[in-house]
Chain A
Amino acid sequence: MDFLRPASWEEALAAKAEHPTAVPIAGGTDVMVEINFDHRRPEYLLDLNRIGDLSEWEVGEKTVRLGASVPYTKIMENLRAELPGLALASHTVASPQIRNRGGVGGNLGTASPAGDAHPALLASGCEVEVESVRGRRMIPIDEFYVGVKRNAMQPDELIRSVHLPKADGPQQFSKVGTRNAMVIAVCAFGIALHPETRMVRTGIGSAAPTPVRAKEAEDFLAAALDEGGFWESGAPIPPSVAKQFAQLASGACNPIDDVRGSAKYRRHAVGIMARRTLGWTWESYRGNERSAQCA
């Protein structure tokens, strides 16, 4: 094994071009587990810790450019207003020790359907900035996840940052697990209201081969809110609409039975989370903040 330690982004791209099999390591919270357990013996480890730019973020007028290695702790501490959904999701990642090291780039690189950031990323409608010596490209999050633990990146590419639209409305995240800390999601759900565009976006975690959106549920809800004039009136959402939204979200799942839960349970729980998170975000849109924020 070789340990590559590029001091700059350009050096990192050159190293990745020369050794496309090199495994990038930033927080190490996924990669080191695989190495410790002998599940993986990469020929090259590409350490990204020396590239300071990856741990920085910029809040622009419309978007936040979030460096791939910004630890979840920093997202929780600094970007709660701009990225509420992702901040809530970050709070449910493992433990303080893990949140101090892990970042969104790792979740995207690993592309596990259980990654905690994915539902919030899908709901926000972000773009992933990837780069190689051949050039830079922005991959819309909807096109990023292509299979179980597979993403749309080429072997010579590295994730530099994620560009997320600043929240223009309430966002929520919910996750089912056996306890509050240190759990991989049994399933998870993220929702973002976008009052400016009159859209609703969602993300489902751990209930399909990849993280997915509940598109039919989104379309149904957007139409129902529009037709009923709910965005203008701020009236409560009728239970029948919430129920239909939940059923459609449940229907967007394509889960499996595994040690963490059964497919049937996951479908059911996603429906429940969809209804609840819709209620929380809509109440917030109407001006009634929840007194206790919990995931």
Chain B
Amino acid sequence: MRVTFTVNGRQQEADDVWEGESLLYVLRERMGLPGSKNACEQGECGSCTVRLDGVPVCSCLVAAGQVEGREVTTVEGLADFARQRAEHGGCGTGACGTSLQDAQQWEAKPQDSQTGEGAELSPIQQAFIDAGAVQCGFCTPGLLVAADEMLERNPQPTDADIREALSGNLCRCTGYEKILDAVRLAAARQDRVQEGAV
């Protein structure tokens, strides 16, 4: 079957999709977006977390046919998504988002620590790098999507809020302390930006 849906703000089509296929498989194998990771395939690990109509879900547990006409945000579109949210409060015009080609070729370009130039990361991504919250990196995409959504909903989270929001994401390097540091850092920076704006 054919599935047409919005990925990172742009409409995409996938053809010859098997009816039992997951959204995760479509993203990775048909659209060339391997940022969402495939691990447990049973909703236990959170490494395939994407946003479906804004809500964090395990893409391995969403049937491809269920996303027809709906909006998906993946980690590859997170930097653009966060920038557009900060600038315009979201994507109102339909002209934003991330093209499939850009998403496929997306790579982390962190801010140069000397010159302060070149950042093409969302604040949560930058915070993960700055806090040393990336070890093997496999759980990172899911954590970024989940953490970014929590900070959008709850800009000043308590430690309990952070733990709760990330409780569905496993890190088998057990780098949880640095991950918590990263989310606290992103929250503090977000707070500072907002205070500065007032």
Contacts and interface: CB of A to CB of B under 8 A. Distances in A.
Q: Could you say which interface size class chain A belongs to?
A: 20 to 34
Nearest to B20: A35
Interface string A10-48: 000000000000000101110111011100011001010
Contact of B61 (A1, A29, A42, A49): A29
A98 interface: yes
A266 to B, nearest CB: 22
B162 to A, nearest CB: 12
Nearest to B48: A97
A49 B66 contact: yes
Interface in B29-61: 41-44, 46, 49, 55-58, 60-61
Contacts of A284: none
B41 A33 contact: yes
Contact of A181 (B18, B49, B168): B168
Nearest to A100: B55
A1 B66 CA distance: 15
Contacts of A97: 43, 46, 49, 56-58, 146, 168
Given A3-B1, A3-B19, A32-B22, A96 B62 contact: no
A28 B46 contact: no
Contacts of A28: 61-63, 66
A78 interface: no
A180 interface: yes
A182 B19 CA distance: 28
A232 interface: no
A282 to B, nearest CB: 27
Given A45-B19, A101-B57, A32 B168 contact: no
A2 B66 CA distance: 13
A5 interface: yes
B168 A37 contact: no
Contacts of A36: 22, 41-42, 60
A254 to B, nearest CB: 28
A107 B164 CA distance: 22
A2 B57 CA distance: 24
A36 B61 CA distance: 8
Interface of A: 1-3, 5, 25, 27-29, 31-33, 35-37, 41-42, 45, 47, 49, 94-98, 100-101, 180-182
Pick the 5 closest A-B CB pairs, nearest first.
A95-B168, A181-B167, A1-B19, A3-B19, A36-B41
Given A3-B1, A97-B56, A97-B58, 7 more contacts: A32-B22, A36-B42, A37-B42, A94-B168, A95-B167, A100-B55, A181-B168
